[in-house]
Amino acid sequence: MSVLDAFSLSGKVSVVTGANRGIGRALATALAEAGSDVVLLVRDTGGSLEVTAELERLGVTAIAVAADVTEADQVRRAVGEIMDRLGKVDVLVNNAGACIHRPSLEVTEEEWEFVMDVNVNGVWHCSQEFGRQMVEQHSGAIINIGSISANIVNRPQWQPGYNASKAAVHQLTRSLAAEWAPHGVRVNALAPGYIKTEMAPVDKPEFRRHWIDDAPMRRYAMPSELGPSVVYLASDASSFMTGTVLVIDGGYTLF
């Protein structure tokens, strides 16, 4: 196998949660460009028509399956539907996430539970249910989308729930990697820095000083810049890699 062949995902089936927009959409596109069929696991499949059409123009099969990742029963049903329609799952990208920007003493119980439910329980439900299939087939790769917020405290805004949830995602990644390695299942995480999306106003003046000007590369990234790293973690190019948190942050966490 040549070096470039090791990055191929031809014949694979990849599932991406929260893939209708932003980072999830970019990661789904990257996986399709590498040859993988793609399943968008989303709450609103009606919002997936444009994305699946774009992916299919790349020559792969693309479908949308409905599930709220915070509901274990819905995830379980989605796994069954995907297995019935495509026969297997080789790659899972746990991308769906939520954030509340609020000082700790102002965070409501409902807000805290919402962030933890999506960012931690959602990753757990999907990892457990899809991981069950991967363990049975003795192969698979799970990529959890963590964050540099697991390692730093962001400023100037406060987001205690998000930071704690992403730290949990990183440690869950390591725990599952250790447990499932003997079964041929690799589990890694990607920890992005500041990425420009609809939900991240990275170029607003009040944020730019802290988020962009303070980083070594002095710029933010576009979602597409995360795509090659996810393809690497999903493919045989990273066949001896598990339990790793890969930081992609323009050097932000160096300081």
Active site amino acids: 162
- The token duo for 183 is 């079964």
Integer Cα distance of 148 and 169 in angstroms? 11
87 burial (CB, 10 Å; 0-12 / 13-18 / 19+) is: exposed
- Residue 123 CA: distances (Å) to CA of 176, 209, 217: 11, 32, 31
Contact 65, 40 (CB under 8 A): yes
For the stretch 50-86, what's the b/e string if a residue is b when 16 or more beta carbons lie within 10 angstroms of its beta carbon?
A: ebbeebeeeebebbbbbbbbbbbebbeebbeebeeeb
- The token duo for 213 is 């000007």
Integer Cα distance of 190 and 169 in angstroms? 10
- What SS3 string covers 161-203? HHHHHHHHHHHHHHHHHHHHHHHCEEEEEEEECCECECCECCC
DSSP labels for 7-61? G--TT-EEEEET-SSHHHHHHHHHHHHTT-EEEEEES-GGGGHHHHHHHHTTTS-
